[in-house]
Amino acid sequence: MARFAQKHTTKYDPKAANSYEHGYSFSTDKYSYITKPGIRREVVEEISHLKEEPEWMLELRLIAYDQFMAKVMPPWGADLSGINFDLIRYYLRPTDTQVKSWDEVPPEVKKTFDRLGIPEAERAVLAGVKAQYDSEVVYGSLKNVWAKDGVIFLSMDEGLKQYPDLVKEYFGKVIPSGDNKFSALNSAVWSGGSFVYVPKGVNVKMPLQTYFRINAEFAGQFERTLIIVDEGATVHYVEGCTAPNFSSYSLHSAVVEIFVKKGARCQYTTIQNWYKNIYNLVTKRAYVEEEGEMVWTDFNMGSKVTMKYPGFILAGKGAKGETLSMALAGAGQHQDTGSKAIHLAPHTSSTIVSKSISKDGGRTSYRGMVNVGPHAHDSKNTVICDALLLDSISRSDTYPVDRIFNSHVQIQHEATVSKIGDDQLFYLMSRGITEENARKMIVNGFVDDLIRKLPLEYAVEMNRLIEYEMEGSIG
């Protein structure tokens, strides 16, 4: 392996690091393996070769690479002109030793850790100082419980090695590589991510959490996640965490595919708090069969630009989909989020609830699509978008599309945009609450019904985080 790899490896070059514009240029000289910046056919071949992948995966990557090169950048949505694909390194394999030191972590990130009360051991991982969280002792026993029921929870790379047939059957089936430019990029250069299989009738009671995963790459630039929930099974998968996820990458482009079989249920929770220099462009979609249920809970607080529209294809009779989305945009941020509901079968129902908060010149957009196909009679859809603007320089948009090809349906859409009312503030302040606390209280109340859907420890951290973000926001 190393004999071939040698040809393309480079030593760390400080000059190249300086020209790494939108990245956070930490030294990357401790990586055991670095590809040259820029994407070429050879880079894709090399990644596949280094991972010792089966032939079909290499073919899939190469097709995806051609599609990526052929596709133009999306002409709609957020401003993506800051991305320079030639400056990005597409594959980094961290060494087992520490990559960065704690001193290099910016003070505001440390401060947030303090405020959220994150345990010391987790902090180091979250800040990217350690590649892995040493969770063997606490979570090792949990892993055994899952394994007894036949639940598979591995990194995508391990999943491909250990269960190649299962991966081949589902990989790229609900999000084909040609779906959009960034799904093509991810399919070409993916590494990391999770592979989850829950067998028939198994009810996984504890949420599966990415940072509990053992012996796996922590977070990747081009994560690829595949979740298969077999008939009658249930699972709750949690990705990310409330603490700022500190990363030296400048582009994060993940693909998440979920298969919900007959009568199964899957909840996928994302708490995205990337550092504020990152372009976060993610494609997520679930394929839901008869009587199945898919719930996306999607919280976006960090990143410079997020474009993410988790969707579900309700392909079986009586399937259900739900998206609960919350976005918070501060200075220089644009959260362009929403959801797609595709109804293909009769008696399907879906709900999309989106809450967004813009402050300090941030911009939030809801962009959604509801498509009811000709066979989806007696389907129901409700979309509710509420936006809160905290000052006069911020911006909020709503771009919904409803396409209905069957008339036996009930489709509703509602959206409101408002600010914190003077009368609301006056009421609270007349009860002796300071203006700052009154504002925090109103904002927390605004997002409360979504936060309640989170596991308890996340809900607590989320409330603290919102309070922290709100601090000093009195105009």
Which residues would be at the binding site for other proteins (CB under 8 A)?
Answer: 387, 389-419
Task: Read off the DSSP letter of residue 362.
Answer: -
C-beta of 305: minimal distance to other proteins in Å?
18
Task: Read off the DSSP letter of residue 35.
Answer: P
The alpha helices in 149-259, defined as continuous H runs, are 156-162, 164-170, 181-189
C-beta of 347: minimal distance to other proteins in Å?
15
Residue of 344, 370, 117 lying closest to 241 (CA atoms)? 117
What are the DSSP calls for 83-105, one per residue? --GGG--S-EE--SS--S-GGGS
Q: Which is nearer to other proteins, 225 or 365 (CB)?
A: 365
User: Counting every residue, how long is the chain?
Assistant: 475
C-beta of 400: minimal distance to other proteins in Å?
6
| Beta carbons within 8 Å of 229's beta carbon, 6+ residues apart | 198, 235, 258, 259, 260, 261, 264, 265, 266, 292
Per residue in 261-293, is it b (16+ CB within 10 Å) or e — as a string? bbbbbbbbbbbbbbbbbbbbbbbbbbbbbbbbb
What are the DSSP calls for 194-214, one per residue? EEEEE-TT-B--SPEEGGG--
Q: Which is nearer to other proteins, 315 or 383 (CB)?
A: 383
C-beta of 183: minimal distance to other proteins in Å?
25
C-beta of 273: minimal distance to other proteins in Å?
25
C-beta of 419: minimal distance to other proteins in Å?
4
Q: Which is nearer to other proteins, 112 or 358 (CB)?
A: 358
Q: Is residue 231 packed enough to be buried (19+ CB in 10 Å), middle (13-18) or exposed (0-12)?
A: middle
Element (H, E) at 458: helix 456-470
What are the DSSP calls for 209-225, one per residue? EGGG--SS----SS-EE
Q: How far apart are CA 170 and CA 164, in angstroms?
A: 10
Count CA within 13 A, CB hemisphere, residue 147.
7
Q: How far apart are CA 377 and CA 97, in angstroms?
A: 58
Q: Which is nearer to other proteins, 6 or 407 (CB)?
A: 407
C-beta of 401: minimal distance to other proteins in Å?
5
Q: Which is nearer to other proteins, 414 or 448 (CB)?
A: 414
| Beta carbons within 8 Å of 62's beta carbon, 6+ residues apart | 41, 44, 45, 188
Q: Which is nearer to other proteins, 35 or 356 (CB)?
A: 356
Nearest 5°: the CA angle 241, 197, 240 is: 5
Cα–Cα distances (Å) from 423 to 80, 196, 429, 447, 475, in that order, read 39, 49, 10, 19, 17
Q: Which is nearer to other proteins, 158 or 397 (CB)?
A: 397
What are the DSSP calls for 302-333, one per residue? -SSEEEE--EEEE-STT-EEEEEEEEEE-TT-
C-beta of 399: minimal distance to other proteins in Å?
5
C-beta of 373: minimal distance to other proteins in Å?
11
Q: Which is nearer to other proteins, 165 or 422 (CB)?
A: 422
C-beta of 410: minimal distance to other proteins in Å?
5
Q: Which is nearer to other proteins, 111 or 408 (CB)?
A: 408
Q: How far apart are CA 384 and CA 201, in angstroms?
A: 33
Q: Which is nearer to other proteins, 284 or 343 (CB)?
A: 343
C-beta of 377: minimal distance to other proteins in Å?
8
Q: Which is nearer to other proteins, 104 or 436 (CB)?
A: 436
